[in-house]
Structure 1
Amino acid sequence: MLQALGLSPPEDAVYTALLARPSASAREVALQAGLEEGESDRVLLDLAARGLVAVAREAAVLGPDSADGGAGPRSARYRLTPPSVALAPILAEQRNALHLAETAFSKLSEQYRTTAARTAGGVVEVVVGVEQVAHRFLQLQRGAQRELLVFLVGEPTAVPREDTDTSESSALDRGVDFRVVADKDYLTGHEVVRDVRQAVAAGLVLRMAGSLPLKMVISDRERAMVPLDMTDSGGEPSAIVVHPSGLLTALVHLFEREWAQGRPMFTPGTGVHEVPAGDPVPTGEELEVLALLLAGFSDRRAASELGLSIRTVERRVRRLMDLSGVESRLQLGWHAARVGWV
């Protein structure tokens, strides 16, 4: 609990043990904290020297380690100094240190941007190699504080899908606005569709495009990463990281254009808030089929991606049409858009 304030695990354990009693001997603290008695003695004396605990020696009990006839460490009893008195200075010191670190970080970042702006080479950073590309990609995703804009195209070449999923979850947990445009061919396989559906349920917003010109991730509109053709670096995966510049602005505009033209997919909660009360609503499985069909998938392709038979897909489409009261798939698409199913 207190390791964030700079206490070691044994110090944390001793301090926590003293919280439960008004005073205790080193032996009692050792039993409570699960430490050896000698280690408990050392930690207590160190905490006392730092003002975190106070020593209240008991009257005239000679300990075996007392060479001068006085009460030794084993005869002492310890009590906590009030946390508001003992821990507040430590907290204030760490806050000041963090403030200084943030100030230094801001100055270094500004100096780097200023220097980079003076040279064309500072606009684009070339990254070569699997480990370097993966590290830089995850660094961009995990460093985002406000917004992530992503183009998904094809299979991952440098970053394992599980690492990407972890960094996505971390960004969503931080409240980052996460928008993704995926190439239609990206949804290959039932597992990919399932993972995408889970990400959307967690807050990611997804749209589909017929095709995209490139893979891309843009972090906070301050940096972008675009993979390069592997042949450009002798067969190794490579990418460019684009810093603030006209090129970065163009990449943001490209994303927004594809986003505006993309088709919404797997919208969480669809079919509930915009449907009149009492009307039947489609199931999540039926909405999965509908989303793929609206993205341009054939019945056969949708069945393959969802791990279903074509008959099941057709049956779910038929039920959607019955719920909508329409006679054709074209009418179904219009109805789905009108009532907010997609």
Structure 2
Amino acid sequence: MLQALGLGPVEEAVYTALLARPTATAQELAQQTGLGQAETARILLDLTTRGLAAVASEAERGAPDSADCGAGPQPARYRLTPPSVALAPFLVEQRNALHRAETAVSMLIEQYRSTAAHPAGSVVEAVVGMEQVAHRFHQLQRGAQQELLVFLVGAPVAVPREDADMSESLALDRGVDFRVVAAKDYLDGRDIQRDVWASITAGVEIRLVDSLPLKMVVSDRERAMVPLDMADSGGEPSALVVHRSGLLTALVHLFEREWDQARPLYTTTAGVHAEPTGDQQPTEGELEVLALLLAGFSDRRAASQLGLSIRTVERRTRRLMDLAGADSRLQLGWHAARAGWL
């Protein structure tokens, strides 16, 4: 837990052990952690030097045990410095280091885009080979902080479905807004119903269309990846990574157009289904959110109750309001009552 703030595993073990005691000696902590007494004493000295611990005063030591009376000098006892005081500078430094890293990456990206030796590379980058395509796919998904837009067509080629599911799960855990448009042939894949069920339950919004012109993933509207015909790359999987440009804007517009025309998928105990065209009804997941909101739950509390991210709750609420034609949650509740949604 504290390794992110610069403490190694053994340092964290001693720190955590001391956290549970008002004061302790090196010997007591060594017995508790299983470390050697000499190593524990060295760690305590290091923690003291870094301001994370301090030698306890006479008042903090308390009365000595009767067995220790007359036994000569007592071993030093240590106490923690209040974490709110001691760890705050480490946290600030970590934040500053992350900011410096983000600034450096931004500078490198801009430098790469402006390099005269790579005029085309500033917009489009060709990636050839299964390993390279998979690597860039995971970079796009795991680097997304706000939004992922995906076209799914046919069976996976370069990225196994289980690997894609792992990247998807990590993105959802970060609260990324995840929208997917799938072609009907994608649902013909082996075990795909189970995977789609799991994705929808986890918070992915999925819609279905009869066909799509290409596979695609767009990350934060900053970069996208689309596959190339394998015949053009000697039979190897290959793809184009498209950076911020008019071409990327066109790909995003293509996604939004298909998204608006697609039919939402929803899950029931009988499987995964596409909503019929015409008057659309809320999905079971949306109705769960609606019930909590009408019961007075906040978005954050509803998300916690349902085990969803707050972004997923907000997305489902937004779609409920769109279905109801409501401008406020009060209007949404009135429409839900009239429409018999609950």
Query: Structures share a fold, TM > 0.5?
Result: yes
CA distance in 2, matches of 1:53, 1:174: 34
Do residues 173 (structure 1) and 173 (structure 2) align? Answer: yes
Q: Which moved more, 1:170-179 or 1:108-117?
A: 108-117
Do residues 186 (structure 1) and 155 (structure 2) align? Answer: no
CA distance in 1, matches of 2:57, 2:262: 75
Kindly indicate whether the alpha-carbon contact (under 8 Å) linking 2:147 and 2:220 is maintained by their aligned counterparts in 1.
Answer: yes
Could you tell me which residue of structure 2 aligns to residue 92 of structure 1?
92
Amino acid in structure 1 at the alignment position of 2:170: S
Residue by residue over 1:274-309, the C-alpha shift from the partner in whole angstroms, topping out at 9 and shown as x without a partner, is xxxxxxxxxx24574x53887xxxxxxxxxxxxxxx
Amino acid in structure 2 at the alignment position of 1:156: P
CA distance in 1, matches of 2:220, 2:93: 31
CA distance in 1, matches of 2:29, 2:121: 61
Kindly indicate whether the alpha-carbon contact (under 8 Å) linking 2:148 and 2:178 is maintained by their aligned counterparts in 1.
Answer: yes
Could you tell me which residue of structure 2 aligns to residue 141 of structure 1?
141
Do residues 235 (structure 1) and 235 (structure 2) align? Answer: yes
Kindly indicate whether the alpha-carbon contact (under 8 Å) linking 2:13 and 2:33 is maintained by their aligned counterparts in 1.
Answer: yes
CA distance in 2, matches of 1:163, 1:116: 36
Amino acid in structure 2 at the alignment position of 1:24: A
Kindly indicate whether the alpha-carbon contact (under 8 Å) linking 2:129 and 2:237 is maintained by their aligned counterparts in 1.
Answer: yes
Kindly indicate whether the alpha-carbon contact (under 8 Å) linking 2:207 and 2:274 is maintained by their aligned counterparts in 1.
Answer: no
Residue by residue over 1:64-111, the C-alpha shift from the partner in whole angstroms, topping out at 9 and shown as x without a partner, is xxxxxx96xx83222223333432332232232223223323333333
Could you tell me which residue of structure 1 aligns to residue 224 of structure 2?
224
Could you tell me which residue of structure 2 aligns to residue 105 of structure 1?
105
Do residues 291 (structure 1) and 274 (structure 2) align? Answer: yes
Unaligned runs of 5+ in 2: 62-71, 278-338
Unaligned runs of 5+ in 1: 60-69, 269-283, 295-338
Amino acid in structure 2 at the alignment position of 1:291: A
Could you tell me which residue of structure 1 aligns to residue 64 of structure 2?
none
CA separation of 1:85 and 1:198: change in aligned 2, threshold 3 A: closer
Equivalences, count: 269
Could you tell me which residue of structure 1 aligns to residue 163 of structure 2?
163
CA distance in 1, matches of 2:88, 2:10: 20
CA distance in 1, matches of 2:40, 2:89: 24
Could you tell me which residue of structure 2 aligns to residue 52 of structure 1?
52
Q: Which moved more, 1:12-21 or 1:75-84?
A: 75-84
Residue by residue over 1:206-257, the C-alpha shift from the partner in whole angstroms, topping out at 9 and shown as x without a partner, is 1111111211111111111011111211111110101112221221222222
User: Secondary structure at 2:236's aligned position in 1?
Assistant: coil
Do residues 17 (structure 1) and 17 (structure 2) align? Answer: yes
Could you tell me which residue of structure 2 aligns to residue 323 of structure 1?
none
Amino acid in structure 2 at the alignment position of 1:144: A
Amino acid in structure 1 at the alignment position of 2:17: A
Amino acid in structure 1 at the alignment position of 2:258: E
Kindly indicate whether the alpha-carbon contact (under 8 Å) linking 2:197 and 2:271 is maintained by their aligned counterparts in 1.
Answer: no
User: Secondary structure at 2:191's aligned position in 1?
Assistant: helix
Query: 1:7: how far off?
Result: 0.7
Kindly indicate whether the alpha-carbon contact (under 8 Å) linking 1:57 and 1:76 is maintained by their aligned counterparts in 2.
Answer: no
Query: 1:118: how far off?
Result: 8.2
Could you tell me which residue of structure 1 aligns to residue 259 of structure 2?
259
Kindly indicate whether the alpha-carbon contact (under 8 Å) linking 2:155 and 2:189 is maintained by their aligned counterparts in 1.
Answer: no
Residue by residue over 1:21-68, the C-alpha shift from the partner in whole angstroms, topping out at 9 and shown as x without a partner, is 222211101112221222212211222222322235989xxxxxxxxx
Kindly indicate whether the alpha-carbon contact (under 8 Å) linking 1:57 and 1:75 is maintained by their aligned counterparts in 2.
Answer: no
Which of structure 1's runs of 4+ aligned residues deviate more than 4 A?
56-59, 114-118
Could you tell me which residue of structure 1 aligns to residue 67 of structure 2?
none
Could you tell me which residue of structure 1 aligns to residue 77 of structure 2?
77
CA distance in 2, matches of 1:126, 1:152: 20
Kindly indicate whether the alpha-carbon contact (under 8 Å) linking 2:180 and 2:205 is maintained by their aligned counterparts in 1.
Answer: yes
Amino acid in structure 2 at the alignment position of 1:30: A
CA distance in 1, matches of 2:21, 2:207: 59
Kindly indicate whether the alpha-carbon contact (under 8 Å) linking 2:113 and 2:123 is maintained by their aligned counterparts in 1.
Answer: no
- Name the larger-Rg structure: 1
Amino acid in structure 2 at the alignment position of 1:213: P
Could you tell me which residue of structure 1 aligns to residue 201 of structure 2?
201
User: Secondary structure at 2:77's aligned position in 1?
Assistant: strand
TM-score, normalised via structure 1 length: 0.71
RMSD after superposition:
2.9
TM-score, normalised via structure 2 length: 0.71
CA separation of 1:185 and 1:208: change in aligned 2, threshold 3 A: same
Query: 1:126: how far off?
Result: 0.5
